[in-house]
Structure formats: structure tokens, C-alpha cells
């Protein structure tokens, strides 16, 4: 799967999970913090996609796809873990025939530590992805400057 497709797929999944998490009524602050962390990850996923798209339209700016691909694969692993947790919640809600998503209905399924661990994992993935974006941008900027001023200026 190419980098752009992977970023789009992950951003879509994160958006869906975030929307689900935000729909939980009466949720503790940990759930809201998880939703905020997911929004940060979604922003970085969208930014990574835009960066690769921009760099692919300028042949003189090779993207550091290795760093971004590795970061996106790391995100994929962490998002998969969160998706399993969300699927567990959805299965419980379906089994209980509850139309209203309330925190009380989810307390049985989720431990507070699971939420905090999920948020920590997503925060780590966000940090790694952000670092890859910064590295990718720095490489592209350095190459652009080098090409603009010519090879003799940097030697």
C-alpha cells in the first residue's frame, strides 16, 4: 500500500473511532482526552498525506518515504489496538440492545487503565508520526535550498 493510501485509510479509521468516542454520554474526562488525542493524530495523518502529495508533484523534492512509512505503520498498529477496544465496546452495546451510548453501559466493558493505555499508545504514535513529518519536511527544505542556491553554497 502506498504512503498516501495508508495515510487516508488511517485518518478515516481515526475519524470514525473519534466520532464514536465523542458519542459516549456521561463519559469521564479520560474519554474526552482520548478523543482530543485522536484528533491530533488525525491532523498529523492528514498533514503527512498532504506533504507526500506536495512532494510527489515536485520531482526535485524526494520525500523521505521510509521515515513516513515506518511512522504510519506504527500508527496502524496502535490504531488497530484501539479499534479492537472499540469493537469490544460496540459488541457489548449490541448485546445489551442499548440504543443510547452511556458511560454506565460501558463501565462493565472498559477498565479505566485500558482507556489511559489507549490514549498513551495513540499519543506515542502521534509523536512518532509528527517527528517523521518534521524530518521529511527538513530534508525537502534542505534539498530545495541546495538546488536553489546551487551546489557550491553548501560545500
Question: For the chain, what are the domain ranges?
Answer: 3-55+73-153
Tens digit of pLDDT for each residue in 40-84? Answer: 999 999 999 998 888 777 665 555 678 888 999 999 999 999 998
Q: Where are the alpha helices (DSSP H) in the chain?
A: 3-22, 29-56, 65-95, 103-106, 112-149
Taking the whole predicted model, whether its pTM rises above 0.85 is answered as: no
What is the predicted pLDDT for the residue at 152? Answer: 47
Tens digit of pLDDT for each residue in 114-150? Answer: 888 888 999 999 999 999 999 888 776 766 666 667 6
What is the predicted pLDDT for the residue at 108? Answer: 47
Amino acid at each position: 500500500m502506498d504512503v498516501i493510501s495508508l495515510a487516508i485509510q488511517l485518518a478515516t479509521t481515526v475519524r470514525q473511532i473519534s466520532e464514536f468516542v465523542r458519542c459516549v454520554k456521561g463519559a469521564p474526562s479520560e474519554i474526552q482526552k482520548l478523543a482530543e488525542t485522536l484528533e491530533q493524530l488525525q491532523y498529523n495523518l492528514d498533514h503527512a498525506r498532504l506533504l507526500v502529495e506536495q512532494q510527489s508533484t515536485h520531482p526535485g523534492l524526494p520525500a523521505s518515504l521510509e521515515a513516513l512509512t515506518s511512522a504510519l505503520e506504527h500508527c496502524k498498529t496502535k490504531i488497530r489496538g484501539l479499534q479492537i477496544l472499540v469493537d469490544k465496546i460496540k459488541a457489548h452495546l449490541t448485546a445489551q440492545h442499548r440504543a443510547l451510548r452511556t458511560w454506565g453501559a460501558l463501565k462493565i466493558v472498559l477498565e479505566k487503565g485500558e482507556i489511559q493505555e489507549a490514549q498513551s499508545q495513540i499519543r506515542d504514535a502521534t509523536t512518532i508520526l509528527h517527528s517523521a513529518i518534521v524530518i521529511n519536511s527538513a530534508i525537502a527544505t534542505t534539498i530545495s535550498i541546495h538546488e536553489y542556491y546551487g551546489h557550491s553554497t553548501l560545500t
